[in-house]
């Protein structure tokens, strides 16, 4: 978490950002315009009601007559009906726009996440990505749709009320509207204050979400290390900052409304004072005064909504900024445009142009580091023939996984070349290489779903029979059949309902089914019992047949039978050869082997 610094988003208004958002709104342009029109209509009808009151006072109440009251009643009823229809439609349209926009933003984000390279995931916490995909997308969708609702309605309502007042009696209108400039100044002052505290609230909130994420993901570790109390303390510091800022924000918000209401009362007072005089001097009708009073009261009504929109504006902008920082991130590893032209990309692969892969791999003078300036591999050279099984051994952090990551093109060399079948792999499409690749990790990842689905993940069009055959080949069939629902058993999130060994067997079945030309096994044999290990051992043998493979294992039994064993130290190959050759060299491998061999013998004796 530490390495990842949350960017500060403090711009007041960022036009370029909203322009980008406009792209998302484009498909719903018509809907948005219609929504705006409905809101203007709603405000328009709202403004008519005080005029109706005026008419009622001047024509029915004061003269104490009922002439034409029926038509008046009908018109009144119709207005209410129109308003009801307006409300139905605007809620319907705004709700839909909110859904569509959120959906589109999430889809775009998810699609982009599929394309981003490993290095992006190295530096970006999962919690951060989750927040972008969930709450931020949601916030943007709802801000745009409901923000338009409130803004268009609020402004058109205030403007229409002003017009109606000027139309009724411009002198009285000008007198009552003198409070507006004061209102503007007051609003600006409070908005500035409120935005400032809200910004702090948001920043703290994102920190707290981070702690949540770490706290929950690391709950087991926390418990085993008895770190609960410290974690709680750290958490309390953040939450109390959050608490204080939130209270401050609430105080400012709660001061603002009464201030606005007071102004409203002053406006109403002015209307009564001058209007009352006008009525007495018979310059103004009673009804006009009544209409004026309701206008001054209503004039301030939209402010609450507008204030909310302004408060949300900043956080919506921050959401947009974060989402775009993700969407605009260029994948570090990308196919050249010429390569895409010839071999296609993820969205449209031109498989017919793909050359058959044999499986020769060579590293030519490869230098690589994960971070600038750091070199994990330096002038690394290695030639592997198709079908060869290469085992990598060496201390932790020596660069074994790095060699494999480069071969799979999860990362690319900083200098030098990696060739597959004699051609720089950057001149072929990524998809071409990766569809010919099988990768089994130490803790293989299974997806929520059934065992069958997880095996078929390697080749979606596989038949049930093929799936069973693959499972049998790697000795997974037996344990699967012991499960209640067999192949249809759910594996749980990340395969949590299976043991590590079982997960590995499933991922071997997956690899066999996909039938890759190049196969990678990263430390797959550690941490399982001897019986499972034997099953896995046999599975590995099956998987390795006719493929170029990399095996990284700490257990020597796994690597003994490899065609070639490489000892990697500080990113360099220090010894290579087969098991017997390396034993004769009496180097690192010899020591490693004799140590482990002795340990294994001891263990066997103890067991016996
Ligand atoms: N994603 C990464 N970002 C930054 N540095 C990394 C990353 N992965 C590995 N490294 C660094 O590169 C070096 C080589 O790591 P590598 O994973 O290749 O070691 P390894 O030989 O596979 O070790 P192990 O046996 O523990 O799996 C280490 O110093 C490690 O800290
Ligand atoms: Mg490793």
* 108: CATH: 1.20.1560.10
Return the residue matching tokens 């001149």. Answer: 427
Residue 398 Cβ contacting ligand 1 at under 6 Å: yes
Do 321 and 358 share a domain, yes or no? no
Query: What torsion, rounded to 10 degrees, do the Cα atoms 453, 456, 460, 464 define?
Result: -90
Q: Return the residue whose CA atom lies nearest to atom 29 of ligand 1.
A: 397
pLDDT for 3 equals: 40
516 in Cβ contact with 440 (< 8 Å): no
Task: Select from 410, 431, 432 the least CA-distant residue to 421.
Answer: 432
CA angle 500, 501, 505 (to 5 degrees): 120
Residue 117 Cβ contacting ligand 1 at under 6 Å: no
Judge whether 512 lies within some domain: no
Judge whether 63 lies within some domain: yes
Do 323 and 381 share a domain, yes or no? no
Q: Return the residue whose CA atom lies nearest to atom 14 of ligand 1.
A: 399
Judge whether 206 lies within some domain: yes
> Which residues fall within 8 angstroms of residue 604, CB to CB, at 6 or more apart?
none
pLDDT for 439 equals: 84
pLDDT for 526 equals: 55
> Which residues fall within 8 angstroms of residue 372, CB to CB, at 6 or more apart?
none
> Which residues fall within 8 angstroms of residue 37, CB to CB, at 6 or more apart?
none
Do 153 and 259 share a domain, yes or no? yes
95 in Cβ contact with 145 (< 8 Å): yes
Q: Which ligand approaches the C-alpha of residue 398 most closely?
A: 1
pLDDT for 381 equals: 93
- The CA distance from 552 to 394, in Å, is 9
Low-confidence ranges of the chain (pLDDT < 70): 1-12, 523-529, 608
- State how beta strands 548-552 and 564-569 pair: unpaired
Most distant pair of Cα atoms in the chain: their distance: 120
The parent domain of residue 570 ranges over 352-436+550-608
Q: Read off the DSSP letter of residue 61.
A: I
> Which residues fall within 8 angstroms of residue 203, CB to CB, at 6 or more apart?
6, 8
Mutate to test the pocket of ligand 1, among 122, 373, 402, 527 (most ligand atoms within 8 A of CB): 402
Q: Return the residue whose CA atom lies nearest to atom 27 of ligand 1.
A: 396
Mutate to test the pocket of ligand 1, among 367, 397, 443, 566 (most ligand atoms within 8 A of CB): 397
Do 204 and 257 share a domain, yes or no? yes
Q: Return the residue whose CA atom lies nearest to atom 17 of ligand 1.
A: 401
Sign for the CA dihedral angle at 48, 50, 51, 57 comes to positive
Judge whether 417 lies within some domain: yes
Do 413 and 275 share a domain, yes or no? no
Please give the distance of CA 53 from its chain centroid, rounded to a whole number: 52
CA angle 109, 113, 115 (to 5 degrees): 120
Residue 86 Cβ contacting ligand 1 at under 6 Å: no
Residue 282 Cβ contacting ligand 1 at under 6 Å: no
Q: In what order do the strands lie in the sheet with 423-424?
A: 377-384, 361-368, 415-420, 423-424
- What is the enclosing helix (H) or strand (E) of 564? strand 564-569
Residue 549 Cβ contacting ligand 1 at under 6 Å: no
- State how beta strands 361-368 and 415-420 pair: antiparallel
Do 321 and 370 share a domain, yes or no? no
Do 122 and 255 share a domain, yes or no? yes
Judge whether 459 lies within some domain: no
pTM across the whole model? 0.77
Query: What torsion, rounded to 10 degrees, do the Cα atoms 461, 464, 466, 472 define?
Result: 140
- The CA distance from 41 to 43, in Å, is 5
In the structure encoding, which two tokens stand for residue 486, read together? 């067999």
Count the domains in the chain: 2
Q: Return the residue whose CA atom lies nearest to atom 16 of ligand 1.
A: 399
Q: How many CB atoms lie within 10 A of CB 481?
A: 11
Q: Is 395 left (phi over 0), alpha (psi -120 to 50) or beta?
A: beta
401-429 tens-digit pLDDT: 999 999 999 999 999 999 999 999 998 88
Judge whether 500 lies within some domain: no
Judge whether 386 lies within some domain: yes
Distance 401 CA to ligand 1 centre (A): 7
pLDDT for 527 equals: 58
Helices 137-168 and 29-56, interaxial angle, to 10°? 30
Mutate to test the pocket of ligand 1, among 3, 373, 400 (most ligand atoms within 8 A of CB): 400
Number of residues that make up the chain: 608
Judge whether 528 lies within some domain: no
Q: Return the residue whose CA atom lies nearest to atom 2 of ligand 1.
A: 370
- The CA distance from 171 to 176, in Å, is 9
Residue that finishes a domain, picked among 327, 361, 390: 327
- State how beta strands 548-552 and 437-440 pair: unpaired
In the structure encoding, which two tokens stand for residue 392, read together? 């990598």
Do 118 and 248 share a domain, yes or no? yes
Do 120 and 237 share a domain, yes or no? yes
Do 321 and 359 share a domain, yes or no? no
What's the CATH number where 565 sits? Answer: 3.40.50.300
Do 284 and 396 share a domain, yes or no? no
Do 131 and 238 share a domain, yes or no? yes
> Which residues fall within 8 angstroms of residue 265, CB to CB, at 6 or more apart?
none
Residue 402 Cβ contacting ligand 1 at under 6 Å: yes
- The CA distance from 247 to 393, in Å, is 58
Q: Read off the DSSP letter of residue 357.
A: P
pLDDT for 87 equals: 95
In the structure encoding, which two tokens stand for residue 511, read together? 């690899």
Please give the distance of CA 163 from its chain centroid, rounded to a whole number: 46
Q: Is 523 left (phi over 0), alpha (psi -120 to 50) or beta?
A: left
Return the residue matching tokens 């590893």. Answer: 333
Q: Return the residue whose CA atom lies nearest to atom 5 of ligand 1.
A: 370
């Amino acid at each position: 978490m530490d390495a990842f610094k949350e960017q500060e988003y403090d711009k007041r208004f960022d036009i370029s950002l909203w322009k980008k958002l406009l792209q998302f709104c484009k498909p719903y342009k018509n809907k948005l315009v219609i929504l705006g029109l409905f809101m203007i209509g709603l405000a328009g009808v709202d403004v008519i009601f005080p005029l109706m009151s005026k008419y009622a006072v001047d024509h029915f109440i004061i003269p104490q007559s009922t002439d034409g009251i029926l038509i008046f009643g009908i018109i009144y009823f119709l207005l209410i009906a129109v308003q009801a229809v307006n409300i139905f439609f605007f809620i319907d349209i705004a709700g839909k726009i909110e859904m569509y926009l959120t959906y589109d933003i999430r889809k775009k984000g998810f699609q982009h996440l599929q394309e981003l390279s490993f290095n992006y995931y190295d530096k970006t916490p999962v919690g951060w990505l989750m927040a972008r995909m969930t709450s931020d997308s949601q916030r943007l969708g709802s801000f745009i749709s409901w923000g338009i609702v409130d803004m268009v309605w609020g402004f058109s309502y205030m403007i229409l009320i002003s017009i109606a007042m000027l139309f009724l009696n411009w002198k009285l209108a000008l007198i009552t509207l003198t409070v507006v400039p004061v209102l503007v100044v007051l609003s600006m002052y409070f908005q500035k204050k409120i935005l400032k505290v809200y910004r702090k609230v948001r920043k703290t909130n994102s920190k707290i979400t981070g702690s949540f994420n770490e706290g929950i993901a690391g709950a087991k570790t926390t418990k085993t290390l008895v770190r609960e109390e410290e974690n709680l303390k750290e958490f309390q510091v953040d939450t109390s900052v959050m608490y204080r800022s939130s209270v401050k924000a609430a105080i400012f918000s709660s001061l603002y409304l009464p201030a606005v209401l007071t102004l409203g009362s002053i406006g109403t007072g002015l209307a009564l004072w001058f209007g009352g005089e006008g009525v007495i001097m018979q310059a103004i009708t009673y009804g006009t005064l009544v209409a004026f009073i309701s206008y001054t009261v209503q004039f301030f009504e939209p402010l609450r909504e507008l204030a909310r929109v302004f408060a949300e504006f900043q956080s919506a902008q921050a959401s947009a900024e974060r989402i775009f920082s993700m969407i605009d991130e260029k994948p570090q590893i990308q196919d050249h445009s010429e390569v895409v032209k010839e071999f296609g990309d993820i969205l449209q692969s031109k498989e017919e142009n793909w050359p058959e892969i044999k499986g020769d791999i060579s590293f030519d003078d490869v230098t690589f580091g994960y971070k600038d300036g750091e070199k994990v591999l330096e002038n690394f050279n290695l030639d592997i023939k198709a079908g060869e099984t290469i085992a990598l051994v060496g201390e932790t952090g020596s660069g074994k996984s790095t060699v494999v990551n480069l071969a799979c093109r999860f990362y690319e060399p900083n200098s030098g070349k990696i060739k597959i079948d004699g051609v720089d792999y950057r001149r072929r499409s990524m998809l071409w290489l990766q569809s010919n690749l099988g990768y089994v990790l130490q803790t293989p990842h299974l997806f929520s779903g059934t065992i069958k689905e997880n095996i078929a993940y390697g080749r979606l069009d596989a038949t049930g029979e093929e799936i069973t055959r693959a499972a049998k080949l790697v000795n997974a069939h037996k344990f699967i059949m012991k499960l209640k629902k067999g192949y249809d058993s759910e594996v749980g999130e990340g395969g949590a309902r299976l043991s590590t060994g079982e997960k590995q067997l499933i991922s071997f079945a997956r690899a066999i089914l996909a039938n890759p030309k190049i196969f990678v096994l990263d430390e797959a044999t550690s941490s399982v019992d001897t019986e499972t290990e034997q099953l896995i051992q046999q599975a590995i043998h099956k998987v390795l047949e006719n493929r170029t493979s990399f095996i990284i294992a700490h257990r020597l039994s796994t690597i003994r039978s490899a065609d070639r064993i490489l000892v990697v130290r500080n990113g360099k190959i220090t010894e290579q050869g087969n098991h017997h050759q390396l034993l004769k060299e009496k180097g690192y491998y010899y020591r490693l082997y004799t140590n482990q061999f002795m340990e294994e013998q001891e263990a066997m004796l103890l067991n016996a």
